[in-house]
């Protein structure tokens, strides 16, 4: 699903995430390096905050034309922070 999003659609959300997640970048990078495939598992409540942030900034389900941000928020964070996730 995420691979089907155009760069134009993702770009504003990615930029917002880069800015908002900058203070947490080193922690997120450490978690990613420790387990690139499942780094986000220990971030469950943080994940809720990221999904809510996306919604508050206008990048919710309606913006992406999807049913649930759970399907894409991890990929958005990975791409925004250059973690090597699916793009």
Contact 21, 77 (CB under 8 A): yes
**Mean per-residue pLDDT over the chain, rounded:** 92
Any domain includes 85: no
Closest CA to 2 of 55, 54, 77: 77
Contact 18, 81 (CB under 8 A): yes
Any domain includes 86: no
Query: Where in the sequence is the domain holding 42, given as residue range(s)?
Result: 6-80
Residue 3 vs residue 44, higher pLDDT: 3
- Sorting pLDDT into bands at 50, 70 and 90, what band is 87? very low
Q: What contacts 15, CB < 8 A, 6 or more positions away?
A: 80
Please count the structural domains in the chain: 1
């Amino acid at each position: 699903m995420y691979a089907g999003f155009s760069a134009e659609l993702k770009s504003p959300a990615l930029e917002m995430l880069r800015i908002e997640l900058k203070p947490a970048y080193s922690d997120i990078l450490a978690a990613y390096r420790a387990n690139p495939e499942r780094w986000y598992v220990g971030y469950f409540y943080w994940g809720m905050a990221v999904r809510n942030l996306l919604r508050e900034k206008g990048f919710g389900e309606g913006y992406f034309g999807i049913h649930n941000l759970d399907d894409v928020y991890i990929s958005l964070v990975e791409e925004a922070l250059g973690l090597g996730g699916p793009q």
